[in-house]
Amino acid sequence: MDVFNINRRRFLQTASATLAYSALGATGLDIIHPLKAYRVGLIGTGWYGKSDLFRLIQVADIDVVALCDVDRNLLDEAATLTSQRQKSGKEPRKYNDYRKMLAENELDIVLIGSPDHWHALQCIDAIKAGAHVYVQKPISVDVVEGEAMVAAARKYNKVVQVGTQRKSTPHLIDAKKKIVDAGLLGKVSHVEMCCYYHMRANGNPPLQDVPEFFDYDLWVGPAPKRPYDGLPHRRWWRTMMEYGNGIMGDMCIHMLDTVRWMLDLGWPKRISSTGGIYVQKDGKSNIADTQSAIFEYDELNCVWQHRSWGTPADKDYPWSFKLYGEKGTLSGSTMRYDFVPREEGDPIHQDVLYEKEKYPEDLTEKDIELNAAPATRLHMLDFLHAIQNNSRPVADIEDGHISTASCILANISMELGRPVIYDPIKQKVVKDREATKLLERAYRDPWEHPDPKKV
């Protein structure tokens, strides 16, 4: 019998384990029980697809049996690196089309690291094929896709973990426990979230021929097909609304999801947003370079602001959230947190946890986010724990849908110039037929949009 073995001693030696243990509860590490080695497949072998896979390999004895990518060069590189990483030393089978990969392999787990416009179809198809799924955020490019993903996960009783790993970030787990849950903030009635990174690619590359190693038509899939002007990997596809939801969908979802987790919030009561391309008008990018949004709850407004130009409002927190309570303020980011009491008490500060000594291979991995690696490892452990115990993971698909859809609804509000109120039961925007029509994007033939009632 193959043994599924997480190295408990190594894991418990890290500070992050202590935090995770307290966050997950006493059963959080029971996943060390002997099990078969899970058969794993990865769809999307680019930057973060590989990063997620390598974090999973670090915490579990798995069998990576298949990889899929429409870029043959990326696929070949990922197969070689995976064979060097996994215990068996085997090179996974390589696929151009994820549907063939799912059909030819009985996979226990599928990781999805493809661009946003592919997440829904690939997640639903993987669930139907019998796999548990780890899908990157945002889970979808429209609201109806997200509803269908939740419906599929529930119908087929599969664990779906979303890559909103702030919920597994050690210092943020600590902030939630020691600051928020301990009542140091008092009543929180205002939240600010922001991103001031200059991350909006805005070039004018010329049209060119599609290289022979890249299947551009399959990369585009159900989305609108833009004229080919170079490999879309990394930053370029995110600068186009055809394939994502802009900085709102890419960066706000992380902070909104974290705030919702910190404060135990569900769907916003109302969402409003304004913005557009105010400064960076010279390139091909069609995502907003400036956007504000308000996510309204009972006696609480969560306010988002992004600018891909200028300077950050707070140089220590350029991508962050700030919880304003009657007793003090908590600022948090991927790198640190700070609590400042209004009157009595001392400020509390904590920096990000690194695990360079525990996982020295992190130091030689190309393009790794060292600050995010411990969080992703804990996120994978939580995912595996949920699979073994048939329970909901910390970043369950339903929570991922609420956070994703809320950001999409903010974009809809910005487009229409008015607030929107989404009814998740009726799956409609209240008293707004025009907004309701925007909940579902048209798919390119012959791809069919998923229906929440028919998955």
pLDDT in tens, 33-70: 336 789 999 999 999 999 999 999 999 999 999 999 99
Q: Which CATH superfamily is domain 169-204+213-358+401-437 in?
A: Dihydrodipicolinate Reductase; domain 2 (3.30.360.10)
Q: Are strands 422-423 and 328-333 parallel, antiparallel or unpaired?
A: unpaired
First to last CA, the chain: 35
**Mean pLDDT over residues 362-389, rounded?**
96
**Mean pLDDT over residues 307-320, rounded?**
98
Residue 241 pLDDT > 70, yes or no? yes
CA-wise closest residue to 142 among 446, 431, 454, 429: 429
* Residue 214 bridge partners (DSSP): 71
CB-side neighbour CA atoms (13 Å) of 343: 3
Residue 10 pLDDT > 50, yes or no? no
Residue 31 pLDDT > 80, yes or no? no
Q: Identify the pLDDT of residue 21.
A: 37
Residue 9 pLDDT > 70, yes or no? no
Q: What residue ranges of the chain are covered by domains with CATH 3.30.360.10? A: 169-204+213-358+401-437
Task: Give the percent of the chain with pLDDT over 90.
Answer: 91
* Residue 111 bridge partners (DSSP): 42, 134
Q: Identify the pLDDT of residue 344.
A: 84
Q: What residue ranges of the chain are covered by domains with CATH 3.40.50.720? A: 8-167+367-396
Q: How far, in Å, CA of 119 to CA of 162, rounded?
A: 11
Q: How far, in Å, CA of 166 to CA of 172, rounded?
A: 7
Question: What global pTM score does this model have?
Answer: 0.93
Place of tokens 């209240």: 430
Report which DSSP code applies to 352.
Answer: P
Q: Identify the pLDDT of residue 19.
A: 40
Fold adopted by 8-167+367-396: Rossmann fold (3.40.50)
**Mean pLDDT over residues 202-216, rounded?**
97
